[in-house]
């Protein structure tokens, strides 16, 4: 969902799974409380270009016509859910608590009618469901209708996202050099380097981030995972021990520690 403001800016919110460092999405695991639910809030251009220019996906925009008060209440209901998640996290469920069912839930929360349709459970079919009122010339029962879909172009070459990832890693490296006190910038550089397979450079960047902010558990987690992937079990155990001290009682941390112990000689 994206909201347009009078100054011409657009705020987009994407409901997604919160994956850990080194974790990828698995469609089957998505049904079994493996991923936390979270809301990505960003400039519309950032979210869309991530999909079109880096993930090489086809994206269409469906403008909706609905009363301004309802638009405002919808955004506030999204914000309410974000604050609730900050207080009490919840799991994503690919069937009942996914990106599409949550949009329907928000619509119902503001009093909009959102008729049940089996395609709500099939995320890949939601675009067809949205476009149907246009194709049939019938206004949706919620009082909102979709305009003709607008395709969002992809900047070439989109066939290889890796062509842009080195640019991102280099830019993050320059930003980290300019802001040496910002450990998270260096951390993000390390993640990009790791995606590129430059593990030695990624490790060096992670270490710099940790030296800048020794209390950041994400950096400790990333280092533990990186060392485990390299079968460097001694340093993996050391990084995991540091992580445990930073996040005592965290079940995910304990799971990582147990995994390292099982695999290490």
- Give the pLDDT of residue 149: 44
- Give the pLDDT of residue 159: 45
In 3-state terms, what secondary structure has residue 17? strand
- Domain ranges (residues) in the chain: 2-152, 161-263
- Give the pLDDT of residue 76: 93
- Give the pLDDT of residue 211: 94
CA-based nearest residue to 155, from 54, 76, 61: 54
- Give the pLDDT of residue 120: 58
Cα–Cα distance between 36 and 20 in angstroms, integer? 9
Give the DSSP letter of residue 237.
H
Per-residue pLDDT of the chain (265 residues; tens, 9 = 90+): 888 888 888 899 988 877 776 666 676 766 777 788 889 899 888 888 777 766 677 777 777 778 888 889 999 999 999 999 888 888 877 677 777 777 778 887 887 766 666 555 555 555 545 545 443 333 333 334 334 444 554 444 454 444 577 888 888 899 889 989 988 889 989 988 888 888 899 999 999 999 999 998 888 988 998 898 888 888 998 998 898 898 888 887 888 888 888 887 7
Cα–Cα distance between 163 and 102 in angstroms, integer? 34
Cβ(172)–Cβ(196) below 8 Å: no
The matching CATH number, chosen from 1.10.287.70, 1.25.40.10, 3.10.20.740, 3.40.50.2300, for 161-263 is 1.25.40.10
Cβ(221)–Cβ(253) below 8 Å: yes
- Give the pLDDT of residue 114: 61
In 3-state terms, what secondary structure has residue 106? helix
């Amino acid at each position: 969902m994206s909201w347009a403001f009078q100054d011409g800016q657009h705020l987009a919110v994407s409901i997604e799974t919160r994956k850990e460092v080194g974790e990828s999405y698995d469609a089957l695991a998505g049904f079994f409380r493996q991923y936390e639910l979270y809301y990505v809030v960003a400039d519309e251009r950032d979210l869309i270009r991530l999909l079109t220019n880096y993930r090489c996906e086809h994206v269409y925009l469906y403008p909706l016509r609905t009363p301004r008060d309802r638009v405002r209440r919808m955004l506030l209901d999204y914000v309410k859910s974000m604050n609730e998640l900050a207080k009490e996290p919840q799991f994503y469920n690919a069937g009942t608590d996914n990106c599409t069912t949550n949009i329907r839930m928000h619509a119902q929360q503001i009093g909009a009618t959102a008729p049940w349709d089996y395609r709500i459970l099939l995320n890949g079919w939601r675009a067809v469901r949205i476009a149907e009122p246009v194709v049939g010339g019938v206004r949706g029962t919620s009082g909102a209708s979709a305009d003709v879909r607008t395709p969002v172009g992809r900047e070439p070459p989109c066939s290889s996202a890796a062509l842009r990832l080195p640019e991102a890693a280099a830019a993050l490296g320059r930003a980290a050099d300019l802001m040496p006190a910002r450990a998270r910038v260096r951390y993000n550089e390390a993640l990009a380097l790791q995606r590129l397979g430059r593990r030695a450079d990624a490790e060096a960047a992670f270490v710099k981030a940790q030296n800048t902010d020794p209390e950041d558990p994400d950096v400790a987690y990333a280092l533990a995972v990186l060392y485990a992937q390299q079968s460097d079990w001694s340093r993996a155990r050391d990084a995991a021990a540091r992580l445990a001290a930073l996040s005592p009682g965290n079940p995910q941390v304990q799971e990582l520690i147990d995994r390292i112990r099982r695999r290490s000689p």
